[in-house]
Structure 1
């Protein structure tokens, strides 16, 4: 189990983050939330990486607008999450992610994100040079900047039955990056890695996690 800490971004913004794993673990990782905040699921994901030998920070990105946000996986939670997300400029979010990397203090820091966080992990890889590895799970906005060049190794995961991300978007990402690790899981929908969502698909989630861990362990 981890604990809450307060970090400060380069623009002076102070925000809460969930910190877990041993501070002197051999590898460091930022876990980026879905649109539902740093809730029970994201904390458990962070703890899992901590148990796998990572020093981990999961920033509360919504603190830019409202603190203490933990939303449920229902229509109301999704509506609120989207409204909050739309109020936060990407550059501010990237400043928060860089502050987390600085707080970890490792020479190499990786980033993994889910849903909105998957798109942010892609942005962190393509718009900064602070990260040594990036993994995105079902990031819906990645295709919008598919031609961008990552500054670190990237691995991406998508569900074949994702009703938010068509396979044409995956093809759009793959085309300019033929050597990138991009995986598509048959029978998996959006959010297939979250055991607290109706779209959870255990087999795909386990395989994606195995690939994520292997990728991070080899690149960090």
Structure 2
């Protein structure tokens, strides 16, 4: 079971959920939260990566704005999460992800990043700006950044019924990044999260299998 650690970042100390496998890790993964904070779902994702052999850091990105944020998947949580995203900004988020990656590297790991929802767009920037192999799950805020060149292997997961990411936007991802792996599932937004109404067990399992294969290849 993981534990909270205090991570020093350029934005100040940030609580970070740390999970590690019992055996020698095959690599390190920075897990990047949704707009709802490092809540139970994100901690579960971290534990699942640890079970697959990865050492994980999941930084609480909102800590420089408000510490310890964990929001529900409801209208109030969405509104509050969007407000916090606006106050934090992408640059500060990437800086914190970079600090988490450096911390894992200091422990002897090759490092990648995976992000969900808003974090999926942060994961794209972790690739283009930090050169981390990255997996983006339904990152609906990525369009303004697609002209930034990839600097490492990249994978995208989308839901065909995700109204925040229409098919033409998915095709733009393919066009701008032809070397990236792009997968579309018969699912809605947030299909990986079993706390959401759009959770889809089949799509989540298929995407997870591809993600684990990606990181084992990219971080070998």
> Shared topology, TM-score over 0.5?
yes
Aligned residues: 216
Q: Aligned in 2, Cα 1:25/1:66: closer, same or farther, shift over 3 Å?
A: same
Contact 2:150 2:177 in 1 (8 A): no
Query: Residue deviations 1:91-121, cap 9 Å, x none?
Result: 2111111111111123520100000110000
**TM-score, with normalisation over the residues of structure 1?**
0.95
Superposed, which structure 2 residues align to 1:163-182 within 5 Å? 163-182=163-182
Q: 1:26: how far off?
A: 2.2
Contact 1:147 1:173 in 2 (8 A): no
Contact 1:143 1:170 in 2 (8 A): no
Contact 2:17 2:43 in 1 (8 A): yes
Q: Flag as ranges the 4+ runs of structure 1 deviating above 2 A.
A: none
- Pairing 1:74–2:74 present: yes
Look up the match of 1:26: 26
Look up the match of 1:110: 112
Q: Aligned in 2, Cα 1:201/1:153: closer, same or farther, shift over 3 Å?
A: same
Look up the match of 1:141: 141
Q: Aligned in 2, Cα 1:178/1:5: closer, same or farther, shift over 3 Å?
A: same
Look up the match of 1:217: 216
- Pairing 1:63–2:63 present: yes
- Pairing 1:128–2:130 present: yes
Look up the match of 1:199: 198
Give the root-mean-square deviation of aligned CA atoms. Answer: 1.2
Gaps of 5+ in 2: none
Contact 2:11 2:96 in 1 (8 A): no
Report the Cα distance in structure 2 between the residues aligned to 1:13 and 1:72, rounded to whole angstroms: 26
Gaps of 5+ in 1: none
